[in-house]
Structure 1
Amino acid sequence: MSASFEPAPPEDYLMRLAASDLGRGYKALATAELDLHEGLDVLDLGCGPGADLPAYARAVGPSGTVLGLDHDAEAVTRARALVRDLPTVRVEEADVHHLDLAGSSIDRAHTDRALQHVADPGRVLAETFRVLRPGGRAVLAEPDWGTLVVDGPDAATSDAYGRFVVEQVVRNGRIGRRLAGLAERTGFMVERVVPVTAVFRDVRAADQVLGLARVARRAVEAGYLRERAEARWTEHLATQPFFASVTLFVVVADRPPA
């Protein structure tokens, strides 16, 4: 494998993405849309290793609370270590389809690239709606992998790669375009949908987010790409001027006042 590509997913992928220019940009937008202030109770669904939790704790102050939930025990352990000195933050292992929370008990809810992986995004949104107080807000940041564009040596190979990502790699690969409609059908008032398009001109930076060569090899194994086409495609990405982009949508959704 070319030195341009990482041979395996990095263990610190989520934290590294959060610290990147891309991560800081859309996370700042999502945090601003949450409209956090002193005394609010905040729920982070699919919090992962807890990248967003310290900022939320600072925003809601000592009279507010922050609860991070994730199904992955290792991520929960890492998040707890990150926030161990923040008394207003709690992190629990949980199934976000079934929240062990009272109805109308949370002021703000947040997801960041979590709904793309869950079994039933509609169920998660229904649970989010249930636990939000009337007038509360959910800010949902989710990619649409159907918008992925990679400039390769031929359109057919890049298109096949994109189909593989949507159909096989990500459970809900087109959640970005579906999210506003799902939220409205759940009962939310969708206030805004803000597109954030990530543009990559450096193949190494793109590979850290997209796993280009690793995913291409999986596409060969799944029959989406032929060996020769995959080899030519990855060689082109590693040696020629690079371009890729994908769009994430930040959906701002409020529970109507009582």
Structure 2
Amino acid sequence: MSTTLGAPRPDQAAYMLRAAAAEAGRTYKARLLDRLDPAPGQTVLDAGCGPGTDLPALAERVGDAGAVIGVDRDPRMLERARERTAGLRAVDLREGDVHALPVASGTVDRARIDRVLMHVADPAGALADLHRVTRPGAVVALAEPDWDTLVVDSEDLDTSRAFTRYTTGHVVRNATVGRSLARLATAAGFQVDDVTATTPVFRDFPDADHTLGLGRNLQQAIEEGHIEEERGRRWFEGLSQGPFYASFSLVSAIAVRGPRTG
């Protein structure tokens, strides 16, 4: 694994699978699944399913009598999801956009959107369409980072702060959507039951470089004139020497479409 300044962006599917397999990823995903609480025979939607990381666990919960619909706009992601879910009869993969889900209105009992809204053109519109496809009483689980809370320990605190500002302003499309989940879900017609925040902590520099894009995003910031080159290189080199610390907030929200029905 490279920790070179300006290293190429990793394969997106491999990146997502690795992030999900890390301790922080496993912990919040398990909690999100428990709060979503899919039951045998239900229809569950994973909007923006990516390479299918969470589809097997959802399929196990709903059983053969249920259905798990995975939607993603990237055919390459869906191909990886097909490989991951081969033999799972409950899983139905569909190519489509989260702003216009290829799902009939009022047919979904449980739905999840996990680290997708930070990338889309219109998070409010995506949640409005999620509201369309869910039944009254359906439970929805949402999880998004708030990249404004990214902190990287360094003696050069100014460069750490400049890196976070660059990440939120130029790298991630909707960098602070995590803090807005309750407001956006309420506006879309959901009743928000719970909002929590966890703090993934990174103490291994190569792992953080891969997950947080330290080297590749710093190189972009230098090339675009947001961080002076020599200053940025000293900062990056200092991080690699350790001890290392970085963290950010990951916000999860549980919401219901209309009143609970039991």
Per the normalisation by structure 2, the TM-score is 0.95
Deviation of residue 167 (structure 1)? 0.8
Deviation of residue 148 (structure 1)? 0.3
- Contact 1:6 1:207 (C-alpha < 8 Å) held by counterparts: no
1:56 corresponding residue in structure 2: 58
Pair 146,65 (structure 1): closer, same or farther in 2 beyond 3 Å: same
Deviation of residue 185 (structure 1)? 1.2
Greater than 6 Å deviation, 4+ residue runs: none
- Please, what is the CA RMSD of the aligned residues? 1.6
1:100 corresponding residue in structure 2: 102
Q: How many residues align?
A: 258
1:166 corresponding residue in structure 2: 168
Residue identity matched to 1:47: C
1:122 corresponding residue in structure 2: 124
Among 54, 70, 73, the alignment partner of 2:75 is 73
1:7 corresponding residue in structure 2: 7
- Contact 1:70 1:92 (C-alpha < 8 Å) held by counterparts: yes
CA distance in 2, matches of 1:99, 1:146: 29
Among 31, 34, 43, the alignment partner of 1:32 is 34
Residue identity matched to 1:96: V
CA distance in 1, matches of 2:217, 2:3: 16
CA distance in 1, matches of 2:2, 2:29: 31
2:192 corresponding residue in structure 1: 190
Among 152, 165, 184, the alignment partner of 1:150 is 152
CA distance in 1, matches of 2:6, 2:77: 22
Percent identity over the alignment is 47
Pair 61,2 (structure 1): closer, same or farther in 2 beyond 3 Å: closer
**Secondary structure of the structure 1 residue equivalent to 2:159:** helix
CA distance in 2, matches of 1:92, 1:152: 44
Q: Which runs of 5+ in 1 are unaligned?
A: none
1:233 corresponding residue in structure 2: 235
Among 247, 250, 258, the alignment partner of 1:248 is 250
Deviation of residue 240 (structure 1)? 2.9
Deviations 1:40-68 (A, max 9, x none): 10000110000000000000001100010
CA distance in 2, matches of 1:65, 1:122: 26
CA distance in 2, matches of 1:30, 1:82: 20
CA distance in 2, matches of 1:115, 1:220: 27
User: Which runs of structure 2 are paired with 1:182-221 in the superposition (5 Å)?
Assistant: 182-221=184-223
Residue identity matched to 1:100: P
Pair 222,64 (structure 1): closer, same or farther in 2 beyond 3 Å: same
Deviation of residue 4 (structure 1)? 7.0
Deviations 1:170-227 (A, max 9, x none): 0000000111101111111110011111111111121121121111101111221010
- Contact 2:205 2:242 (C-alpha < 8 Å) held by counterparts: no
CA distance in 2, matches of 1:93, 1:103: 17
CA distance in 1, matches of 2:104, 2:65: 19
Q: Which runs of 5+ in 2 are unaligned?
A: none
- Contact 1:110 1:139 (C-alpha < 8 Å) held by counterparts: yes
**Secondary structure of the structure 2 residue equivalent to 1:178:** helix
Deviation of residue 6 (structure 1)? 8.6
Pair 125,2 (structure 1): closer, same or farther in 2 beyond 3 Å: closer
CA distance in 2, matches of 1:71, 1:195: 28
Per the normalisation by structure 1, the TM-score is 0.96
- Contact 2:85 2:91 (C-alpha < 8 Å) held by counterparts: yes
CA distance in 1, matches of 2:192, 2:215: 37
**Secondary structure of the structure 1 residue equivalent to 2:199:** strand
- Contact 2:2 2:206 (C-alpha < 8 Å) held by counterparts: no
